[in-house]
A and B are shown apart, each in its own frame.
Chain A
Amino acid sequence: MNTAKDLAKENLWSNNPVFVQILGICSTLAVTNNLTNTFIMTISVTFVTAFSNLSISILKNYIPRKVRMIVQTLIIAFFVIIVDIMLRAYLPSISKSLGPYIGLIITNCIIMGRAEAFAQSNPPIISFWDGITSGLGYMWVLMAIAFFREILGFGTLFGIKILSSSFTPWTIMVMAPSAFFILGILIWIVKTNMMRQDEKKQAPIKKTN
């Protein structure tokens, strides 16, 4: 049984949904050309993952086996539509700029992944925490990618011009392939780092031989 702190460490780093579990890649490529959109998107995913984990964990003993996945999809879709309705009513300009990507949160593998892997076999409160930390793990990776894509592709951060007009924007950074490259480089850096950490942990054991 994981403690809350261990779970947080795992979801934010050692078992990060994006660069370790390689989930949620589609949205990673689509929204990260813009920090503001990325921020709203990742907050929404965190909200949906946390609350759907909570609901599924509460209902898990009542859901018949045969309709397990479809009931989970129903619950996930419910929370996504709530987010969509709230954005349309209270943040309409952001809802317009994110457009179809909000609805597509339903298809984000991270949410269904956590529902199956965690919420189905753990109590409600810790499932809620698992949802929050998975969402945050997703958030920091996407914000990092969006940082590079927005500054190099537009010269701005959160819409505020940072680089001078003499800088020629790299239009490729606005297009999806750049997200592939940046994500690939990020996975490379992180995995190398993780492997070195593992080697260091194993080295003392080898020496005592």
Chain B
Amino acid sequence: MKKDSLMYTVIFSFTITFIFVFILAVAHNKTTERVKKYQKISEAKAYLSASGIKLSPDESPQMKFSEIFGSDSIDKEVLTATIGNENIFVSRLSGKGLWGTIYGVMATNKDIDKIIGIEITSHSETPGLGGRIEEAWFLNQFKGEKVPDKIKIVMGVGRGDPISDNSLVDGITGATRTSESVESIINKKLMELRELKGRGEI
């Protein structure tokens, strides 16, 4: 069969595509379990971190998660727990960022007027700019932040607002839109939680 004939071209293209895609499918299959396992661990870590719980190096995130939240997986929209002598609500955050959806976790006290902490679990923001929402200095601002009404992101020095009483946090220099997205995602969730509480559902 001549190399440039139609028949050869079709058979060759089909065969080569089949072989390469088959190898990819096998590779994907063999690693699916690992990826899922990592995702579960990373989610458990996010919930614990948002709730302000520090893990010691030999503690497994999933075991600690079961211990604190009383179940192995995230089976309700709002999880409750008692840490120290404070009752808290922990729920997922999600909303539109600049380039894609931003996902995270937020823990609040049961009166929903104080944020215990937040974690960002995934986003598609610009690395080095919007992507900095996952950095410690940004997230730490939300720890223990009083929010009688809404949180507001302002232009600060860019190193983080350490005052917990003012409902203000510093945004990220050069990442205004991403910072605004995070602000509206948090405020929306606060509103939702208050509504659920008002209806007696949590």
Contacts and interface: CB of A to CB of B under 8 A. Distances in A.
Interface of A: 30-31, 33-34, 37, 59, 62-67, 70-71, 74-75, 78, 81-82, 85-86, 88-90, 92, 96-101, 153, 171, 174-175
Given A78-B24, A82-B27, A89-B35, A34 B127 contact: yes
Contact of A71 (B3, B13, B35, B173): B13
9 A-B pairs with the lowest CB-CB distances in the bound complex, closest first: A89-B31, A33-B128, A64-B9, A174-B128, A78-B20, A89-B34, A92-B38, A85-B27, A171-B174
30 contacts: A30-B127, A31-B127, A34-B127, A62-B12, A63-B12, A65-B3, A66-B9, A70-B13, A71-B13, A71-B16, A75-B20, A78-B23, A82-B24, A85-B31, A86-B27, A86-B31, A88-B35, A89-B31, A89-B35, A89-B38, A92-B35, A92-B42, A96-B122, A97-B127, A97-B131, A99-B127, A171-B174, A175-B128, A175-B129, A175-B174
Given A92-B38, A175-B129, A81 B24 contact: yes
Contacts of B31: 85-86, 88-89
Contacts of B13: 64, 67, 70-71
Interface string B163-175: 0000000000110
B121 to A, nearest CB: 9
Contacts of A30: 127
Contacts of A96: 122
A33 B127 contact: yes
Interface of B is mostly: helix
Contact of A74 (B4, B17, B27, B129): B17
A99 to B, nearest CB: 7
A96 B23 CA distance: 24
A63 B28 CA distance: 27
Contacts of A31: 127
B155 to A, nearest CB: 13
B9 A174 contact: no
B8 A74 contact: no
Most buried by B among A62, A85, A100: A85
Contact of B16 (A74, A89, A90, A100): A74
Nearest to B13: A67
Most buried by B among A59, A64, A101, A171: A64
Contacts of A33: 127-128
Interface string B120-143: 001010011101000000000000
Given A153-B128, A175-B174, 10 more contacts: A30-B127, A64-B12, A74-B20, A78-B23, A82-B27, A85-B24, A89-B34, A90-B34, A99-B124, A101-B127
A33 B127 CA distance: 9
Interface in B54-73: none
Nearest to B122: A96
Given A66-B4, A67-B9, A174-B174, A34 B128 contact: yes
Contacts of B127: 30-31, 33-34, 37, 97-99, 101
B129 A174 contact: yes
A86 B34 CA distance: 11
Contacts of A75: 20
Interface in B3-59: 3-4, 8-9, 12-13, 16-17, 20, 23-24, 27-28, 31, 34-35, 38, 42
A41 to B, nearest CB: 11
